[in-house]
A and B are shown apart, each in its own frame.
Chain A
Amino acid sequence: MKEKLVVIGNGMAGIRTVEELLKIDEERYDITVFGAEPYGNYNRIMLSPVLAGDKTIDEIMLNDMQWYKDNNVTLHSGKEVTSIDRVNKKVIADDGTEESYDRLLIATGSDPFIIPVPGNDLEGVISFRDIKDVDSMIAAAKEHKHAVVIGGGLLGLEAANGLMQQGMSVTVVHLMDKLMERQMDGPAAAMLKESLEERGLHFLMEAATESIIGKNRVEKVHFKDGSEIYADLVVMAVGIKPNVKLAKEAGIHCERGIVVNDTLQTYDPSIYSVGECAQHRGIAYGLVAPLFEMAKVCANHLAKMGIGIYEGTMTSTKLKVTGIDLFSAGDFIGDETTDELVFQDKARGVYRKIVVKDNKILGAVMYGDTIDGTWYFDLMRDETDISEFRENLLFGQAHLGDSGHGDDSRVAAMSDSAEICGCNGVTKGDIVNAITVNKIFTLDEVRAHTKASSSCGSCTGLVESLMSHVLGGEFSTAPHLKPMCGCTDKSHDAVREAIETQEYKSVQTVMEAMEWKTPNGCSKCRPAINYYLVCKFPELKLDDAQSRFINERAHANIQGDGTYSVIPRMWGGMTTPQELRAVADAAEKFNLETVHVTGGQRIGLYGLKKEELPEIWDDLNKAGMVSGHAYGKALRTVKTCVGKDWCRFGTQDSTGLGIKLEKMSWGSWMPHKFKMAASGCPRNCAEATIKDYGVVCVDSGYEIHVGGNGGIKVRATDLLCNVETEEEVLEYSAAYIQLYREEAHYLERTAPWIERVGLNHVKEALIDNPEKRKELAERFNFSQTFMQDDPWEERAKGAEAHEFTPIKVIG
Chain B
Amino acid sequence: MSDWIEVGTLNDIPKLGARVVSRAEGDIAVFRTADDKVFALRDKCPHKGGQLSQGIVHGDRVACPMHDWKIGLDNGIAIAPDEGCAASFPIKMEGEKIMLSLTPNEGCPNK
Specify whether A and B are partners: yes
B54 at the A/B interface (Cβ < 8 Å)?
yes
With a CB–CB cut-off of 8 A, which chain B residues contact A554?
Answer: 54
* B21 A806 Cβ-Cβ under 8 A: yes
Stretch at the interface among A517-525, A531-539, A681-689: A517-525
A521 to B61, CA, bound (A): 10
A802 to B13, CA, bound (A): 8
A808 at the A/B interface (Cβ < 8 Å)?
yes
A809 to B8, CA, bound (A): 11
* B55 A550 Cβ-Cβ under 8 A: yes
> When the two chains form the complex, which single residue of B22, B63, B70 contacts A808, counting CB atoms closer than 8 Å?
B22
With a CB–CB cut-off of 8 A, which chain A residues contact B70?
Answer: 522
With a CB–CB cut-off of 8 A, which chain B residues contact A558?
Answer: 51, 54, 65
Given A449-B81, A558-B54 in contact, is the A520-B19 Cβ separation under 8 Å? no
Stretch at the interface among A541-549, A577-585, A706-714: A541-549
Min CB gap B59→A, angstroms: 5
* B58 A526 Cβ-Cβ under 8 A: yes
Min CB gap A92→B, angstroms: 40
Which parts of B52-66 form the interface with A (CB within 8 Å)?
Answer: 54-59, 61, 63, 65-66
A584 to B14, CA, bound (A): 35
Interface string of B50-89 (1 = CB under 8 A from A): 1100111111010101111010000000000100000000
With a CB–CB cut-off of 8 A, which chain A residues contact B57?
Answer: 546
Given A522-B63, A550-B65 in contact, is the A810-B56 Cβ separation under 8 Å? no
B7 at the A/B interface (Cβ < 8 Å)?
yes
With a CB–CB cut-off of 8 A, which chain B residues contact A808?
Answer: 5, 7-8, 21-22
* B58 A523 Cβ-Cβ under 8 A: yes
B41 at the A/B interface (Cβ < 8 Å)?
no
Given A448-B81, A545-B14, A808-B7 in contact, is the A802-B58 Cβ separation under 8 Å? no
With a CB–CB cut-off of 8 A, which chain B residues contact A810?
Answer: 5, 21-24, 102
* A523 B56 Cβ-Cβ under 8 A: yes
Given A545-B14, A549-B56 in contact, is the A519-B21 Cβ separation under 8 Å? no
* A809 B56 Cβ-Cβ under 8 A: no
A229 to B46, CA, bound (A): 69
Residue of B whose beta carbon sits closest to that of A611: B22
* A546 B15 Cβ-Cβ under 8 A: yes
* B21 A546 Cβ-Cβ under 8 A: no
A562 at the A/B interface (Cβ < 8 Å)?
yes
* B54 A550 Cβ-Cβ under 8 A: yes
A324 to B86, CA, bound (A): 51
A276 to B102, CA, bound (A): 58
A462 to B55, CA, bound (A): 30
User: Interface residues of B toward A: which range?
Assistant: 35 or more
Interface string of B80-111 (1 = CB under 8 A from A): 01000000000000000000001000000000
Min CB gap A563→B, angstroms: 10
A62 to B19, CA, bound (A): 46
Interface string of A504-530 (1 = CB under 8 A from B): 000000000000001111110011000
Min CB gap A306→B, angstroms: 19
A519 to B27, CA, bound (A): 28
A197 to B102, CA, bound (A): 77
With a CB–CB cut-off of 8 A, which chain A residues contact B23?
Answer: 809-811
| Best-surrounded residue of B15, B22, B58, B65 (most CB of chain A within 10 A) | B58
* B58 A807 Cβ-Cβ under 8 A: no
A626 to B54, CA, bound (A): 24
With a CB–CB cut-off of 8 A, which chain B residues contact A546?
Answer: 14-17, 56-57
With a CB–CB cut-off of 8 A, which chain A residues contact B20?
Answer: 806-807
* A521 B58 Cβ-Cβ under 8 A: yes
A785 at the A/B interface (Cβ < 8 Å)?
no
A455 at the A/B interface (Cβ < 8 Å)?
yes
Min CB gap A561→B, angstroms: 9
Interface string of B1-45 (1 = CB under 8 A from A): 000010110001111110111111001001000110000000000
* A807 B12 Cβ-Cβ under 8 A: yes
A526 to B68, CA, bound (A): 14
Given A523-B63, A546-B57 in contact, is the A802-B24 Cβ separation under 8 Å? no
* A562 B67 Cβ-Cβ under 8 A: no
| Best-surrounded residue of B13, B14, B49 (most CB of chain A within 10 A) | B14
* A519 B59 Cβ-Cβ under 8 A: yes
A165 to B96, CA, bound (A): 75
Given A802-B12, A810-B23 in contact, is the A519-B34 Cβ separation under 8 Å? yes
Min CB gap A664→B, angstroms: 31
Min CB gap A529→B, angstroms: 12
With a CB–CB cut-off of 8 A, which chain B residues contact A549?
Answer: 56, 65
A449 to B81, CA, bound (A): 6
With a CB–CB cut-off of 8 A, which chain A residues contact B13?
Answer: 802, 807
A455 to B69, CA, bound (A): 11
Residue of A whose beta carbon sits closest to that of B19: A807
Interface string of A484-522 (1 = CB under 8 A from B): 000000000000000000000000000000000011111
Residue of B whose beta carbon sits closest to that of A810: B23
Which parts of A401-455 form the interface with B (CB within 8 Å)?
Answer: 448-449, 454-455
Given A558-B54, A802-B19 in contact, is the A807-B8 Cβ separation under 8 Å? yes
* B58 A520 Cβ-Cβ under 8 A: yes
With a CB–CB cut-off of 8 A, which chain A residues contact B65?
Answer: 549-550, 558
* B14 A802 Cβ-Cβ under 8 A: yes
With a CB–CB cut-off of 8 A, which chain B residues contact A560?
Answer: 48, 66
A542 to B63, CA, bound (A): 23
* B21 A562 Cβ-Cβ under 8 A: no
Min CB gap A26→B, angstroms: 14
With a CB–CB cut-off of 8 A, which chain B residues contact A520?
Answer: 16, 34, 58-59
Residues of chain A whose beta carbon lies under 8 Å from any beta carbon of chain B: 448-449, 454-455, 518-523, 526-527, 545-547, 549-550, 554, 558, 560, 562, 802, 806-811
**Extra 17 A-B pairs, beta carbons < 8 Å, given A523-B56, A549-B65, A550-B55:** A519-B34, A520-B16, A522-B59, A522-B63, A545-B17, A546-B16, A546-B17, A547-B56, A560-B48, A806-B20, A807-B8, A807-B12, A807-B20, A807-B30, A808-B21, A808-B22, A811-B23
26 residue pairs bridging A and B, Cβ less than 8 Å apart: A449-B81, A454-B68, A518-B59, A519-B34, A520-B16, A521-B58, A522-B56, A522-B59, A522-B61, A522-B70, A523-B56, A523-B58, A523-B63, A546-B15, A549-B56, A549-B65, A558-B65, A560-B48, A562-B49, A802-B14, A806-B27, A807-B7, A807-B8, A807-B30, A808-B21, A811-B24
Residues of chain B whose beta carbon lies under 8 Å from any beta carbon of chain A: 5, 7-8, 12-17, 19-24, 27, 30, 34-35, 48-51, 54-59, 61, 63, 65-68, 70, 81, 102
**A-B pairs with the 8 shortest C-beta distances?**
A523-B63, A807-B19, A810-B23, A806-B22, A550-B54, A546-B16, A523-B56, A808-B7
